[in-house]
Amino acid sequence: MFLRTLTGATAAYTLPSLIDDWPSIIHRANASQPVEGDNPRNGKTIPGRDQPSSMDDKNDESFWFNVQQAFSIDRSYINLNNGGVCPSPRVVMDAQRRQLEFTNNAPARHLWQVQDPQLELVRAKLARLYGCDPEEMAITRNASEALQISLNGIDLKPGDEILTSTHDYPRMIATIRQREKREGVVMKQVPLPPPDASQDEVVGAFERGITSKTRILLVSHVVFLTGRILPVQDICAMARKRGLIIIVDGAHAFGQIAYDGREIDCDMYGVSCHKWLTAPIGTGFLHVRRGMIKDLWPLTAPEDPKSENIRKFEEIGTHPDAGRLAIGEAIAFHLGIGPKRKEHRLRTLRNYWATRLMKHQKVKLFTNLAPDRSCAIGTIGIDGIEPLALTSHLWDKHKIIVTPIDHEDIHGVRVTANVYTTFDELDLFCEAMENVAREGLPKNGK
């Protein structure tokens, strides 16, 4: 019998029933004290380990143990690249599997007469979680598709400018470059101020990049390189006063930090649901302001490209609905944990390894740890060690997965834990990094 203490009440579970009883586990955990402040311990320690907890109740680690067990992952390696794509909880995988089997029984009927209509509830749930009308929510395969619809679908003339930063995602930069080559539009990129700069300085950097020819502003909500949270609400307000069309890359924001899309007030917002929402791989969404839908050209041509129906952006030919329908289960899992509690936990995990490693003189952190500046993501480097070499060493010798970052003045590895990550795994990562900081990389791979 497996015995854990949860939010002050003792409950017995056999391990197979752990996931079956997930709703009641969540209910009892949500009955505990709310998350407050940036210090999760408030001076308390967990017996046997001085580690941070994301709630005041010392039994919170029992709750997070059950969250960890909701994922059927391989613990023979340590995945600290959840920023690229996240594994899904078992309940999400099961939902996708059920839907795929149902499709396969009679695809021509089940796909279009049963499952397609069921997507409307998923659309409504996504819209509710993000903060928009369902008729402004298109379900896509990822943020890249959503943002390519946005960047390619707006009519521009030769010489018109698209403004973005030097820290935006390479695929989006490549999308704009293609328009430059084909249509003569111009991309302007502004450097971001240092991580410790004020948010007003960030807004000012974008504002100074605007000219009389600027038509579109592309801005990342959370920068993929370092996890930096940009003041998108203030940036959008500034850009709207200047009459710009505003596109926000929300690939790393949705599911990682809690926010209301209505407050951002952008024209288009693209998301990968297979990142921090932990939905199936190949799922995402595009929010388009209702008044922009008609004049935004779809990436693949529907019967009426000038339709005001948001679903025109979903006309991509025959495709499986199983993953998209399983988004609903991912949303239920996310809400069961609680967006604010999850954000706090992700930041707690990141701060755990970051503050430990920052004690070493050779270590440099490229991420501002302030709660309003970052959350789950941290990028860290070691003096004299190339990012790719460090990434290879961590995998080859320690079976730890990270992402190399070598961009302008950022040279390190991006580390992204998730809710299934344990403190023991982070200790192993820290020990490996500390050894490299002291002794360097082994010579000749030994």
Q: Would you list the domain boundaries of the chain?
A: 1-69, 93-332
Write the single-letter amino acid at 12. A
Q: What is the mean pLDDT of residues 41-66?
A: 52
Query: Residues near 23 by Cβ (< 8 Å), separated by ≥ 6?
Result: 336
Write the single-letter amino acid at 383. D
Q: By the 8 A CB rule, do 151 and 296 touch? A: no
Give buried/exposed letters for 168-200 (b at 16+ CB in 10 A, else e): bbeebbebbeebeeeeebbbebbebeebeeebe
Query: Is 35's pLDDT higher than 50?
Result: no
Query: Is 412's pLDDT higher than 60?
Result: yes
Residue among 24, 32, 31, 29 nearest 56 (CA)? 32
- Top CATH class of 93-332 equals alpha beta
For 326-372, how does the pLDDT look when each residue is reduced to its tens digit (9 = 90+)?
A: 999 999 999 999 999 999 999 999 999 999 999 999 999 999 999 99
Query: Residues near 307 by Cβ (< 8 Å), separated by ≥ 6?
Result: 293, 294
Q: What is the mean pLDDT of residues 73-86?
A: 97
For 84-118, how does the pLDDT look when each residue is reduced to its tens digit (9 = 90+)?
A: 999 999 999 999 999 999 999 999 999 999 999 99
Q: Report the predicted TM-score, pTM, of the whole model to 2 decimal places.
A: 0.87
Q: What is the mean pLDDT of residues 67-90?
A: 97
Residue among 24, 156, 67, 6 nearest 341 (CA)? 67
CA 99/CA 325 separation, integer angstroms = 7
Distances in Å between the Cα of 189 and the Cα atoms of 141, 177, 206, 307 are 27, 12, 9, 33
